[in-house]
Chains A and B, each alone.
Chain A
Amino acid sequence: MNTVLELTQITKRFGATQILRGVDLSIREGERHALIGPNGAGKSTLFDLIAGRTQPTSGHVALNGIDVTGMSAHRLGRKGLARSFQITSVFTGLTVHDNVRCAVLGSRAATWKDRWFRSSVIDEAAYRVIEAIGLLDRSDALATSLSYAESRSLDLGLALATGASVLLLDEPTAGMNRAAAARALALIRETTQGKTLLIVEHDMEAVFALADRISVLVQGRIIATGTPADIAADPVVRSAYLGKMS
């Protein structure tokens, strides 16, 4: 299988603090890859760095074989990489429909004409995404008026609407109870068919249910990568991470 996203020897330093100490990670096309690790392991930093929000101190990021190290977030967006945010991040002053429509406009398929005139193609694409995330009846509601679970769905919907083939999901079930988390995971599984997923998640049950492969980040290094079964059985992982949790 092709490698879609490849990180080589990524390091990141904030002042004297070394957050990432040489991360190597390759994500295959179409897989659901989970990134787990204790708090402070550098997961969010790694995510921000892949998504172009910060730049690595050294190392390289390649997307579909092209070096995209240090590329800004909006250019990465146009290259087919989208992300959701750990803290719900939507456009609060806009309706659900306008939120999603803006994200569709950000996709590669949108032309300059679509940005200046209303286009039925864009509206239909937005409609399909809103339908997929189950918010059709809230389409004209302002994003501020959504419930927590609904705004999490919208956050995912924004990432989907860009038409990206690689999705970075930052703790998609954060702050949800079991039932809501299960619904959110089902939604992710449904809506991301055929896309490549990199997920940061704390809920181990969710991770083991959803992921094809798991990488474990501890103290700025990937200490293991493998199938859920491999990871659960890995003695290093157990002592470094899973063991602490039980």
Chain B
Amino acid sequence: MLNAPFSLRRALPWLLLVAGLALPPVFTSQSWLLAYLAQTATMIVFALSFNLLLGETGLLSFGHAVYAGLGAFAAAQIFNRYPVPLPLLPLIAGVSAALVGVVFGFFSTRRAGTTFAMITLGIGELVAAGVWLVPGWFGGEGGVPIDRASGPVIFGLNFGPSIQAYALIAGWCLLACVAMFLFSCTPFVRVANAVRDNPVRAAAIGFDPRRVRFIMVIVAAFFAGVAGGLGLINVELASSEGAGLARSGSVLIAAVIGGTAEFFGPVLGAVVLTFFSLAVGNVSSAWVAYLGLFFVWVVVVAPKGLVGFIAALSRKSCVVIALSLCAAVAWVLAIAITMEIAYALQFDSHGDGLAHIAGFLLDGRRAAPWCLAFSSAAIAVLFTRKARSAR
């Protein structure tokens, strides 16, 4: 893998990642854009760390945010007490999270499968409750704030301006991605794959499955902690939400949406998830419903995730790709119209059933928008069938 010949197909995801992180701030340095990209970068590291467990070791964790959250708390406390340079914060968060991983991994790795999943769920609940019980350490409702500009100045940078903080986050994101990629190429991770596929046989060739899982949990916890540190630099706050079950769920969704079988699957999943929660969430309160639908679609139609789906689609003819795109647009239109007018009728503060979609005003109390949604869905079905039969 490491000594494989250079090819565009291998290099392309890296180029896209670097371009995606580095180019937008060159053209504009609006703060919302930087915040958006910083969240994406954080989620990328977080989802990749999650996939060290799910994809590489076959361990489904429902409590991965515990490591990111506790890492961020530890880093925030240390940063507020000692003159630590800000660029080291992700490292501090990572090491703290790895220590937490040593403790929790010890209890959770004896078995894989459902047992592991249930134990991580329990640990997730435990930590979420513990964070509220000890306000002295975790700051209670307000969390533990930091002032990122308060650290020692390095090379004339105090990281107060968001462009400086973003550069730091993007750099750490790339560093962590490269580190996890190199790690995933080691023979040890092949052994982790072996434990994932067949723990009994892995034991028969001399590896203790528990020990292998334990090491993978610690490494995954470290990188989750790094992600927690990046989030801390971005929002200058370590909060209980960062360690909560909702965040554990979202990283699971990101990894599965992108695809757990490929290294770049979780990266794409993180980009998509951040897109839903920030970009879609900005214009529609129904974004969770959209994300949920999309997640179900991925699980049912593209079990190998978006990366696997795109790879399969790219092997087909241009006609099929064009038909699939048309079907996708028609589906999005049908679902968006239905969802928006339904939300406008039920949950809007006005409850008047008026939905604004891309400048158009749709009235949910009249039949016209519903007919539009229905015909759009009918067209979508037609395109989907055509795309399937065209091959």
A residues bordering B, Cβ < 8 Å? 51-53, 72-75, 77-78, 82-83, 85, 89-94, 98-99, 101-103, 105-107, 114-119, 122, 158-159, 161-162
Please give, as numbers and ranges, the residues of chain B lying within 8 Å of A99 by CB-CB distance: 194
Binds A, one of B97-105, B170-178, B204-212, B371-379: B204-212
- Chain A nearest CB from B188 CB (Å) reads 5
Please give, as numbers and ranges, the residues of chain B lying within 8 Å of A72 by CB-CB distance: 203, 208
Contacts A115-B191, A118-B187; is A103 near B198 (CB within 8 Å)?
Answer: no
Alpha-carbon distance between A122 and B304 when the two chains are bound, in angstroms: 32
Query: How many B residues are at the interface, by size bracket?
Result: 20 to 34
Alpha-carbon distance between A19 and B200 when the two chains are bound, in angstroms: 22
Alpha-carbon distance between A85 and B201 when the two chains are bound, in angstroms: 8
Please give, as numbers and ranges, the residues of chain B lying within 8 Å of A115 by CB-CB distance: 186-188, 191
Report whether B187 and A116 are in contact in the complex, using a CB–CB cutoff of 8 Å. yes
Alpha-carbon distance between A94 and B209 when the two chains are bound, in angstroms: 16
B178-207: CB near A (< 8 Å → 1, else 0) gives 000000001110110110111011111111
- Other-chain contact of B203, A77, A119, A122 (Cβ < 8 Å): A77
Report whether A51 and B205 are in contact in the complex, using a CB–CB cutoff of 8 Å. no
19 CB < 8 A contacts A-B: A51-B204, A53-B200, A53-B203, A74-B204, A75-B208, A91-B201, A92-B197, A94-B193, A94-B194, A98-B190, A99-B194, A102-B194, A103-B206, A105-B187, A106-B191, A115-B187, A119-B187, A158-B204, A162-B205
Report whether A74 and B198 are in contact in the complex, using a CB–CB cutoff of 8 Å. no
- Other-chain contact of A107, B186, B188, B201, B206 (Cβ < 8 Å): B206
Please give, as numbers and ranges, the residues of chain B lying within 8 Å of A116 by CB-CB distance: 186-188
Report whether B208 and A93 are in contact in the complex, using a CB–CB cutoff of 8 Å. no
Report whether A89 and B200 are in contact in the complex, using a CB–CB cutoff of 8 Å. yes
Alpha-carbon distance between A117 and B203 when the two chains are bound, in angstroms: 21
Report whether A102 and B205 are in contact in the complex, using a CB–CB cutoff of 8 Å. yes
Report whether B205 and A106 are in contact in the complex, using a CB–CB cutoff of 8 Å. yes
Report whether B205 and A94 are in contact in the complex, using a CB–CB cutoff of 8 Å. no
Leading 7 A-B pairs by shortest Cβ distance: A106-B206, A77-B206, A106-B205, A73-B203, A91-B197, A103-B205, A74-B208
Report whether B201 and A89 are in contact in the complex, using a CB–CB cutoff of 8 Å. yes
Please give, as numbers and ranges, the residues of chain B lying within 8 Å of A102 by CB-CB distance: 187, 190-191, 194, 202, 205, 207
- Other-chain contact of B201, A52, A117, A122, A158 (Cβ < 8 Å): A158
A119: nearest chain-B partner, CB-CB: B187
B2: nearest chain-A partner, CB-CB: A118
Alpha-carbon distance between A102 and B187 when the two chains are bound, in angstroms: 7
Please give, as numbers and ranges, the residues of chain B lying within 8 Å of A94 by CB-CB distance: 190, 193-194, 197
Alpha-carbon distance between A115 and B207 when the two chains are bound, in angstroms: 11
Please give, as numbers and ranges, the residues of chain A lying within 8 Å of B203 by CB-CB distance: 52-53, 72-74, 77
Alpha-carbon distance between A107 and B200 when the two chains are bound, in angstroms: 16
Alpha-carbon distance between A93 and B187 when the two chains are bound, in angstroms: 14
